[in-house]
Structure 1
Amino acid sequence: MTSRVRRTVLPGGLRVITEQLAGVRSASIGVWVGVGSRDETATLHGCSHFLEHLLFKGTSERSALDISIALDAVGGEFNAFTAKEYTCFHARVLDDDLDLAVDVLGDMITSSLLTPEDVEAERDVILDEIAMHDDDPDDVVHNLFAEQAYGPAAPLGRPIAGTVGSIEALTRAQVARFYQRHYRPANMVVAAAGNLEHAQVVKMVRSAFGRRGWLTGDEPPVAPRRGAKRVRVHPGVIEATRPFEQVNLVLGMEGVHRNDDRRFALGVLNTALGGGTSSRLFQEVRERRGLAYSVFSFASHHADSGLVGVSVGCLPNKLDEVLAVVRTELSRVAAHGISEEELVRGKGQLRGGLVLGLEDSGSRMSRIGKAELVHDELLGIDAVMDRIGSVTLDEVQSVAKQVFGKPEILAVVGPS
């Protein structure tokens, strides 16, 4: 799939980045906003996610139903998500309907009404969503893991959606101020990929986002987020009792931040350790011992911190044995690294997953949008493949020793 990436900065600092793809008839657009749950004070906990919901509720030009109908009528896909360091609103449509998708998103982003009635109605929806997450053992245990790692008072340690108490306390005025402070051109990237022309997309964005003089001023684009210092990670154990059939656990340690050069070696290591059915953990925990149905490892990265860990769900009477096996495997990796065969397999799986994951316009849009917002550079796909391919056994062993030799963070959720 041949492609071409281009970038334009509009007045006010709004960045437009596109990737023209040959041989497709779809187009995807995303508005990436440089604000997430870690930007909230304790009194604003959950505000980013609350605002994400509210921007679908209507503008002076479109009601909430109008917004839904506009994309449904052309068979488009339309959604949004909030993360700890950014928020994204995205749509995927036929290439002929890209202008419509851009206009709807521009209207939502620049002209949301945030009416008191909508705030109250959506408050109940979010409380239902929090209850739903509290019934999901995987969500509960990963939230607990973050809470132990960063502390319950730290933004990175709090759940993205907020808590019942924080959502009930948020006022319309607080949400509106948050909207005005963070949803400004310089803090956003509009990314699009598919069968498109860059100049036409820029024209669409200029029109859709220029409502009521929104694209004014000469503020430069906000630079990628950088932490002044590493965020402290706290080892320890945290537990919660829930009436689940299984015990879910996450055992992990401090990892690396997203711009750390070791992230490629860690990616290969993570894949070999618990990234698929041939991985060490899957083979040892599930295939050989039958201790769990689901087991995988992960690595998460933020601007100034990162975590690595192993997630397992098992029967309560298997918990001690599962923990013993996982700890043994992590100790072995820390002491001896991985084998040459695992290195080759890990690289192949990582490279294949990268390429196969970029076979549609939506994933291409996400790649360029996120890179523009949170990184200093957009590495080409070939460059990323080369970086993965150049990882050596020594590099993997070094990062394994550095990471898996650190003190443990353990979160456990299950029946009493």
Structure 2
Amino acid sequence: MIQREVLPNGVRIVTENISYVQSVALGIWVGVGARDESDKLRGVSHVIEHMLFKGTPSRTAQQIADEIDTVGGDINAFTSKENTCYHVRVLSEHVPLALDILTDMFLNSSFDAEELGREKNVILEEIKQRDDEPDDLVHDLFAEVTWPGHVLGKSVIGTPETVSSFNSDDLRSYIKNCYTPDTIVISAAGNLNHDEIVAYVASKFGDLTGSISDWRAADTTPEFQPGQIYVEKPIEQVNLVMGVPGVSQLSDEKYALSILDNVLGGSMSSRLFQEIREKRGLAYSVGTYAQSYQEGGYFAFYSGTGAATAEQVIDLIKAECVNIRKNGVTEKELQRSKNQFRGGIVMGQESMNSRMMRMGRNELNYGRVLPIQEIMDKINAVTVSDIASLSERLFAKEEFSMATVGPAPGSVTESDEDEEETEE
């Protein structure tokens, strides 16, 4: 059973007691991320995420790691464009310790200047790693060219210039402005006691004050721009992402888009996987994904293929968009996708971490945890006609934004030239 409590200052607590397991997943969520950063603070949410592991007045960074490892738990965090999450998973008997460590990190981090200097170097290396991995870089580039000028088009990781510029006061100021009670959700799933967690959270978080509305800029819908960006790298494959406008996380159309995603490229039986990989052998990786935020979204196609075949892959993707817009999906495809969606949800419920993540995201996005049955009812209500209407809106203009990383599409790579000389 999912239980929910809201403290007088607005901090929310959602838990789900699963009595037949022996572990608990805990998360402290903050409904802020890269979309809340100014140009000068680009990447600060991600830097704060790193720094919360670097010590408090009562624990060093080493002690934080040691205390979790000693009880066989694991602790981690992530930053996205709309939220940040600090999470831990432990055996049920160690919930008090896990709560204490997470809370200490969240409320009492020291932001030592020397530690910050070292961690900024770590993040600069992380940026270099991202830039060296074309299958990561291309997705950031696609968002930037698709939504130029909008905060959702900016990278979570920041830039070398902004990351290098941060000092401890920048981090403290951002936390004061953004880590406010109305943005904080504590979620937990597993063999737990709801009342005990609420009592602990109230004792530690109950005195927090402030509101994100005092600082946050108003939401604005990102305007899709069908632009193109190409980054040349001396690698074997063209890594490409191309896409069209999608839907907001708050729109019920996201359920129809989930079906469309599955039919086009979301599984091994999908049209593009079968056509591009299985029938033609043009790519190892090919697929689709829907990226939805509260303010808007996009629907993207991705693939990695040789320079000589990149244009053919692009043409095949465009042709399938035309085909599905004109001819729609079959009842068989629709039912198969619904079954896959249901299977994913049900199997996800077998993981305490997945349950905790779902509750945290739901609370931040919708102000409540959506019941599984409600989600399934909306998925089951999607019709062939719904998919046809959505496809018409998404693909009618046949205008795509595109990002590519690697050799220029249509070019011959150095290795290809060597093979041709050998054959001659």
Q: Place the TM-score, normalised by the shorter chain, in its bin.
A: over 0.9
Alignment equivalent of 2:377, drawn from 386, 396, 399: 386
TM-score (norm: length of structure 2)? 0.92
Is the 8 Å Cα contact of residues 36 and 217 (structure 2) preserved in structure 1?
Answer: no
Q: Partner of 2:308 in structure 1? A: 317
Unaligned runs of 5+ in 2: 409-424
Larger mean CA deviation between 139-148 and 161-170 belongs to: 161-170
What is the TM-score with the length of structure 1 in the denominator? 0.94
The equivalent position to 2:154 in structure 1, one of 144, 152, 158, is 158
Distance 1:182 1:370 in 2: 17
Q: Is the 8 A contact 1:187 1:222 kept in 2?
A: no
Number of aligned residue pairs: 406
What residue is the counterpart of 2:250 in the other structure?
259
2-structure distance, mates of 1:163, 1:220: 28
Distance verdict in 2 for CA 1:392–1:24, change over 3 Å: same
The aligned residue for residue 61 of structure 2 is: 64
Shift in CA distance, 264/295, structure 1 to aligned 2, threshold 3 Å: same
Aligned residue number for residue 295 of structure 1: 286
Instruction: Verify: 1:25 aligned to 2:22, yes or no.
Output: yes
Residue 154 of structure 1 deviates from its aligned partner by 2.7
| Matched residue, 1:285 | 276
TM-aligned CA deviation for residue 11 of structure 1: 4.0
Gaps of 5+ in 1: none
Q: Using the alignment, how far apart are the partners of 1:38 and 1:96 within structure 2?
A: 37
Aligned counterpart in structure 2 of residue 371 of structure 1, from 341, 362, 372: 362
Q: Which whole-Å deviations, capped at 9, do the CAs of 1:186-243 have from their partners, x for residues lacking one?
A: 3200000101121011123234x25xxxx226768989x9965422111121111112
Which whole-Å CA distance do the structure 1 matches of 2:234 and 2:18 have between them? 49
Distance in 2 (CA, whole Å) between partners of 1:61 and 1:347 is 50
**Matched residues in 2 for 1:310 and 1:226: separation?**
31
Alignment of 1:14-413 (within 5 A): 14-151=11-148, 153-207=149-203, 209-210=204-205, 215-216=206-207, 228-406=219-397, 407-413=399-405
Partners of 1:206 and 1:160 in 2: how far apart?
31
Q: In structure 2, what residue type is equivalent to 1:16?
A: I
Aligned partner of 2:412 in structure 1 is none
User: Contact (CA 8 Å) 1:13, 1:219: kept in 2 or not?
Assistant: no
Matching residue's letter, 1:233: F
- Could you tell me whether the CA contact under 8 Å between 1:28 and 1:361 is conserved in 2? yes
Q: Match for residue 420 of structure 2?
A: none
Pair 221,143 (structure 1): closer, same or farther in 2 beyond 3 Å: closer
Identity level (%): 41
SS in 2 for 1:275: coil
Maintained 8 Å contact 1:43/1:170:
no
Cα distance in 2 for residues equivalent to 1:226 and 1:44: 14
Q: CA deviation at 1:405?
A: 2.3
Displacement after TM superposition at 1:375 (Å): 1.2
Counterpart in the other structure of 2:411: none
Which whole-Å CA distance do the structure 1 matches of 2:219 and 2:85 have between them? 25
Alignment check: 8 A CA contact 1:31 1:89 kept: yes
Relative distance call for 1:103 and 1:222 in structure 2 (3 A) is: farther
How far apart are residue 130 of structure 1 and its match?
0.5
Moved over 4 A (4+): 217-223, 225-229
Letter of the 2:6 counterpart: V
What letter is aligned with 1:409?
A: S
